[in-house]
Structure 1
Amino acid sequence: MSAPAVRRVALVTGAARGIGAATTARLVEQGYHVVAFDWCVADGEPRLPYAQATQADLEQVARGANDRVVAVVGDVRDRAALQQAVEVAGRRWGRLDVAVAAAAVILGGQAAWETDPAAVELLWQIDVDGVWNTAASAVPAMLAGPDPSGCRFVAVASAAATHGLFHLAAYNAAKHAVVGIVKGLSADLVGTGTTAAAVSPGSTRTDMLTATAALYGQADVEDFGRSQRIHRLIEPDEIAATIAFCCSLEGGVVNGSLVQADGGFGA
């Protein structure tokens, strides 16, 4: 797809690695400017059993983008930090056209009734409140910008948004809520031209998938590919391509919708 005549501007959360990093790169390829946002927890999060992205990861995403990516360190649980990221887009490029809520974590490994309430709380704060905060910060800037009819909000859901996954009940609940946010947001946006959609990846080759394998005691993430009809793992750039379409002007038809980019897992 050729670059748009007007340089569009996007905010991507969870941009330091995985699907967020791939989405940032894809949007840059398509001519966007991007504010790449991630929490970059230097010492990790004690409630999460796997390493988190670092500031070096985030800076690597920005490096080589010909000044088209600005890296911003912040936590999606902090609405003020997200509002500041939106302001960065406005000060630097004068507009915000797209927001991609890709930041998320995964926890689980126990039956629902055995799950630590602290784990449920953390999943809700990041995976649900983080999406809510991203929308609440970005959408007003989109509506106040030069082209609300071309603005797009895209949240990254999961196959867990439509399926009950073993020992991941809290994560299931969080990702179902992400879809609910998108559907409600799309209803509130009727008449503005701005749209909202969710993309549900299947098993994608990311650090989160490695963490999921550990929850199930699996040594090889490739095993997850067997549950998808394409009989392989999905690559982050494949999901990024789907997200990028939803972000595009043409992607306005995907409104209030859940796009299942799961390789046939849910077919």
Structure 2
Amino acid sequence: MSSTPAPRHVLVTGSSRGIGRAIAAAFIAAGDRVTVHGRTPESAARAMAELGAAGAIGADVTEGAALEGAIGNAVEANGPVEILVNNAGGASTGPLSRLDVDQLRRMMALNLEPVLTATKAVVPAMKAAGTGRIVTVASTAGLKGYAYVGAYTAAKHAVVGLTKALALELAGSGITVNAVCPGYSDTDLIGDSLEKLAAKTGRAREDLLGDFTKVNPLGRLIEPQEVADCVLWLAGRHAGAMTGQAIAVAGGEI
């Protein structure tokens, strides 16, 4: 007779909305203990209540000490983190003429540095347990170039590179390290971008949406649940041979 697997403690950064929220919901539906994270304690607490999560932490991920402290609180409340999903991040846009080192640093601080901070915070306990899963939500911008998002693209390429390096370093420890790279996804981030572009250019929202979907051979945006399903599989007990991968969830774009 097979026994029911014990719930695992899952921490998902940037899980108060969008793809991160879908990922948190998927793990909760699978029976795991999920700690959700938001930029503020209030946004995290709201997500916890709405999703039925086991815990909530709030921290600005660009502040390393605050993120470390918040993860420590999550461990104190729900035990060692067994699955870490690095989802927090964001993009900035603009042509080369407006791209400067400060913007590049901001994108690295938001998209790359928190991955390292959170990973270092949870790896010692994973090593001690002899098992662990680390999945980072990167982007197709980590696998190819996009015009007008140079700093964001550079940061996501760095995320993929860090993923591959850490996977090799941790190989044999029982810890796998992978990245999931969504294409343009149906989230409020894209929705907000469309509204701003429509106001700025005077173009119809539907026409602007076509600019995003035309790069996807399926001709549509990626659903957050499709990304969540990939993360859930990579975190599964039978995905132990999957490490150092950057999997595109992009409808054939890559």
- TM-score where L is the length of structure 1: 0.84
Matched, 1:60 2:46: yes
- Alignment partners' CA distance in 1, 2:168 and 2:118: 17
Partner of 1:105: 90
Pick the aligned partner of 2:191 from 183, 187, 210. Answer: 210
- Alignment partners' CA distance in 1, 2:197 and 2:146: 12
Partner of 1:51: none
Partner of 2:75: 90
Task: Trace 1:1-267 onto structure 2 (pairs within 5 A).
Answer: 5-40=5-40, 57-66=43-52, 68-111=53-96, 113-144=97-128, 147-149=129-131, 151-213=132-194, 214=196, 219-220=205-206, 222-223=209-210, 224-266=212-254
- Alignment partners' CA distance in 2, 1:172 and 1:18: 20
- Alignment partners' CA distance in 1, 2:85 and 2:30: 15
Give the 3-state SS of the residue equivalent to 2:7 in structure 1: coil
State the 1:70 CA deviation: 1.1
- Alignment partners' CA distance in 1, 2:123 and 2:92: 29
1:36-95 Cα offsets, whole Å, 9 max, x none, are 11213xxxxxxxxxxxxxx554333211544x4311110212233333333233322322
State the 1:32 CA deviation: 1.0
Q: Is the 8 A contact 1:109 1:168 kept in 2?
A: yes
Q: Is the 8 A contact 1:79 1:137 kept in 2?
A: no
- Alignment partners' CA distance in 1, 2:219 and 2:4: 35
- Alignment partners' CA distance in 2, 1:29 and 1:248: 14
Q: Is the 8 A contact 1:123 1:174 kept in 2?
A: yes
- Alignment partners' CA distance in 2, 1:136 and 1:211: 33
- Alignment partners' CA distance in 2, 1:13 and 1:32: 16
Give the 3-state SS of the residue equivalent to 2:95 in structure 1: coil
- Of 17-26 and 93-102, deviating more is 93-102
Give the 3-state SS of the residue equivalent to 2:148 in structure 1: coil
Give the 3-state SS of the residue equivalent to 2:135 in structure 1: strand
Q: Is the 8 A contact 1:203 1:262 kept in 2?
A: yes
Amino acid across the alignment from 2:44: L
Identity of aligned residues (%): 30
State the 1:108 CA deviation: 1.2
- Alignment partners' CA distance in 2, 1:19 and 1:252: 24
- TM-score where L is the length of structure 2: 0.88
The verdict on how the C-alpha distance between 1:264 and 1:85 changes in structure 2, with shifts beyond 3 A counting, is same
CA RMSD, Structure 1 to Structure 2 (Å): 2.3
Q: Is the 8 A contact 1:39 1:73 kept in 2?
A: yes
Amino acid across the alignment from 1:106: A
| Structure 2 gap ranges (5+) | none
Q: Is the 8 A contact 2:57 2:71 kept in 1?
A: no
The verdict on how the C-alpha distance between 1:4 and 1:230 changes in structure 2, with shifts beyond 3 A counting, is farther
Q: Is the 8 A contact 1:106 1:208 kept in 2?
A: no
- Alignment partners' CA distance in 2, 1:215 and 1:174: 23
- Alignment partners' CA distance in 1, 2:140 and 2:79: 36
